[in-house]
Structure 1
Amino acid sequence: MRISLLAVGKLKDAEERAISDRYVKRFNGAGRAIGLGPIEVRELNESRAASADERKCDEAARLMKDLAADTFIVALDPAGRSISSESFARLLSEKRDGAVKACAFLIGGPDGHGAQALRPPAMKLSLGALTLPHGLARVVLLEQLYRAATILSGHPYHRA
């Protein structure tokens, strides 16, 4: 199952980019043997529209633009489900085993997601109750993708 991480905004901090790249590389290595990946990370520019609603709508349309109709969409959203690492790994395994060919994780802009990105069959996922800057949220998501791959492959990285 191919994995995409589509994010509004670009990582400007070299340290955040280095950590993100490290987890992408780790995930690609661990995921290959279990049918996950490779992961594609795409950054989109923030919208310049005048209002927050217009920005969210524009950003959501651009996030969804190139996704195939059968892509399983996971939108990071503060109001989404908060799940354990084990449940996250199980979700990826179920989608992979259910013949889902592609899964896209969406990180919206500073104003959040537009309705198009949150429309079913999208899953809304929360990384927790804390507010995280977008770069850090991306790092946390990438680490959890790597952790899920290690859980599914029986690697000792996850010791819960």
Structure 2
Amino acid sequence: MRLHICAVGRLKTGPERTMVDDYLTRFDKTGRQLSLGPARVTEVEDRKGGGMSAEAALLSRAVPDGALTCIMDERGRRMPSPDFAQQLATWRDQGRQDVAFLIGGADGLDSSLRESADFALSFGDMVWPHMLVRVMLAEQLYRAASILAGTPYHRA
């Protein structure tokens, strides 16, 4: 099952980019044996200043046809890491070929994306900078693959 992180904005060279790249490399290595991955990042940018609706259109175009869409939203479902790992396994076992995680820009996601999403995931009640959400999601994908593979990375 291929994973797509579709995000508004471009990560520049720096610690966030390094961390995302590192966790996704780890995910790809661990997930391969579990039929998870590869995981790829697609960045979109509204250069015309059209706001959240323009960002929503760009994000929608970045999602592969037939992909399950999971938005990252503070109103989404909160779940511990083992449950997230099980959710990925469930989607895989249901025959999903693609899952796209959508991360909005500084103003969040347009309501049209929230309404059409298959799943909404939250990293808690706090609002996180969209650039950090990428890092957190990449780490949680790696953690999920580690949990499913039975490696000692997750020590809960």
Q: TM-score range by the shorter chain?
A: over 0.9
Mapped partners of 2:48, 2:107: distance in 1: 12
1:101 is aligned to 97
Whether 1:89 and 2:85 are equivalent positions in the alignment is yes
SS of equivalent to 2:116 = coil
Answer with 70-79 or 7-16: which moved more.
7-16
Whether 1:28 and 2:28 are equivalent positions in the alignment is yes
Pairwise CA distance, 1:68: 3.7
| Equivalent residue in structure 2 for 1:138, among 131, 134, 137 | 134
Pairwise CA distance, 1:60: 0.9
Mapped partners of 2:41, 2:148: distance in 1: 22
Pairwise CA distance, 1:15: 1.0
Pairwise CA distance, 1:13: 5.1
Residues 13/131 of structure 1: CA separation in 2 closer, same or farther (3 Å cut):
farther
| Equivalent residue in structure 1 for 2:150, among 149, 154, 158 | 154
Mapped partners of 1:97, 1:138: distance in 2: 25
| Equivalent residue in structure 2 for 1:57, among 37, 53, 60 | 53
1:126 is aligned to 122
Contact 2:28 2:37 in 1 (8 A): yes
Mapped partners of 2:42, 2:29: distance in 1: 19
SS of equivalent to 1:65 = helix
- In the superposition, the TM-score normalised over structure 1's length comes to 0.91
SS of equivalent to 2:151 = coil
Contact 1:82 1:128 in 2 (8 A): yes
SS of equivalent to 1:12 = coil
Task: Output one character per residue of 1:77-109: Cα deviation in whole Å (capped at 9) or x when no partner.
Answer: 111111110110010000000001100000001
Mapped partners of 2:7, 2:117: distance in 1: 19
Residues 15/66 of structure 1: CA separation in 2 closer, same or farther (3 Å cut):
closer
1:111 is aligned to 107
Contact 1:61 1:116 in 2 (8 A): no
Gaps of 5+ in 1: none
Gaps of 5+ in 2: none
Pairwise CA distance, 1:46: 3.8
Mapped partners of 2:57, 2:116: distance in 1: 15
Answer with 150-159 or 8-17: which moved more.
8-17
SS of equivalent to 2:42 = strand
Whether 1:5 and 2:5 are equivalent positions in the alignment is yes
RMSD: 1.4
